[in-house]
Structure 1
Amino acid sequence: MKIISMIPARYGASRFPGKLMKDLNGKSVILRTYEATMATQLFDDVYVVTDSDIIYDEIVKNGGKAIMSLKEHDCGSDRIAEAVENMDIDVVINVQGDEPFTDKESLEKLIKVFKEDDNKEVDLASLMVHINDDDEINNPNTVKVIIDKFDFALYFSRSPIPYPRDKSIDVKYYKHKGVYAFRKQAILDFYRLPMLTLEASEKLEQLRYLEYGKRIKMVETNVQGIEIDTLEDLERARKAWK
């Protein structure tokens, strides 16, 4: 089984433009993420795929591998699909460019899903973290996921799901970490299918998979990490890196 990692990297992030080139204790955020992914030694290849000459040059000049997107893309999955279309691979893992604390243990869990899926029932796998802080549960920037008894995703939302109408019920809330592992065919299917209303409403690309009947196996991890979406996140990352 040939497994690679792709790190989609857009320079003009809407909430924090240029965040991937911000300094994180001596190196850019995107370079830190690339190096952390390489350091896991789990992949046959690791690439940054980008629409930005600045990010492309940052990776290449530091000895990494980068691919320039040929088309404009609305989401990271589309960017990856274009890049892998003609590659001879089985599984591609999408590591977010703003997650420099990417860890080996969590990625190993995703890879294990596919190595144990002899009947190829899983289209993609992704990570989730148990959360219990009310501010985080209600924060629309924190994407929540609910799962069935077999750990397949039922829905993703920026709202708190499930809604706690009966507060006596001990409900576990899970934060979705935007790290995905795809079978190659699943991501190519995603690329060719039009966006539907749930994805458009929530602005969550993973909903496209659910709307078209794909199965997403969720894997719990205890590693929170720090996703750099704001300047405050960057400051937290700088402190954590020390």
Structure 2
Amino acid sequence: MIIGIIPARYGSTRYPGKPLIDIKGKTMIQRVYEQATKATCLSEVIVATDDVRILEHVESFGGKAVMTHPDHPSGTDRCWEAYLNVRGKGQGAEGNTYHTPTMPNDYIINIQGDEPFVAPEQIDELGAMLDGSVELASQMIPVTDAELLFDIGEAKVIINEHFEAIYFSRQVIPYLKGVDPQEWHKHHTYYRQVGMYAYRADILEKITRLPVSPLEKAESLEQLRWLQNGFKIKMGLTTYESHCIDTPEDVEKILPFIQ
């Protein structure tokens, strides 16, 4: 079984109440939810929130939502609590002690709650990678210009011959000696991470118990904690771009994508 979970916090430093903003007649969280439910690989879609306003709104348009603790450090941790609720192993944000899931081959896809136009086909691409042996999975797209390559807001990834991540960095990796940096993308295939994370349930339990690692702290990239602790992240190629909303100004940028 593959469960789609959409973490949706009400509090945001740059954009409080972001999940409930209106985008041409529908809230952002409703748009994300409706896109996710079109993915054929998902057995169900759940919004994991820390605010009753979001919970009630999701239920008002017929969606499923669960309450989670307000102090989760990441969407990964929120996904774990929501999964336990779905599996009947926990009781929401009440501080219960949870137990290991009885279905370790379940997968959870963490669908970003700030991407209102996430493509169902992209979710299905990720779902097709989850064969039971994969511990963690994500997606990547080739970098086609120097501006994106040197954007520290974009996480770059290098992979091994099995399409498993070796390292993620905000800096450009690898360095090309003797080549003009503005031409690097023409001489080497660079990839940047896009899209979502998928976790096998038993692995999700383990990674949520890990302390922050030195590499994660240095780059501010959560996935480095997993790599540094020996977990494998399978990477899949995609052609779908991510269109996130982090600030009010970003709303105007994504309006052309509304059909």
Aligned to 1:96: 112
Answer whether contact 1:85 1:188 (CA < 8 A) is retained.
Answer: no
1:194 aligned onto 2:211: yes
**1:4-153 equivalent positions in 2, closer than 5 A:** 4-70=3-69, 72-85=71-84, 87=87, 89=103, 90-115=106-131, 117=132, 120=133, 122-153=134-165
Partners of 1:74 and 1:113 lie apart in 2 by 27
Partners of 1:25 and 1:166 lie apart in 2 by 50
- 1:15-34: CA deviations, max 9, x gaps? 43333222212111111001
Aligned-residue CA RMSD (Å): 1.9
Flag structure 1 segments of 5+ consecutive residues without an equivalent.
none
Aligned to 2:177: 165
Which TM-score applies when normalising by structure 2?
Answer: 0.84
SS in 1 for 2:215: helix
Flag structure 2 segments of 5+ consecutive residues without an equivalent.
88-101
Cα 1:52–1:164 change in 2 (3 A) is: farther
Answer whether contact 1:49 1:67 (CA < 8 A) is retained.
Answer: yes
Structure 1 or 2, whichever has the larger Rg, is 2
Partners of 1:138 and 1:233 lie apart in 2 by 21
Partners of 1:167 and 1:237 lie apart in 2 by 36
SS in 1 for 2:19: helix
- Cα shift at 1:178: 4.0
1:221 aligned onto 2:238: yes
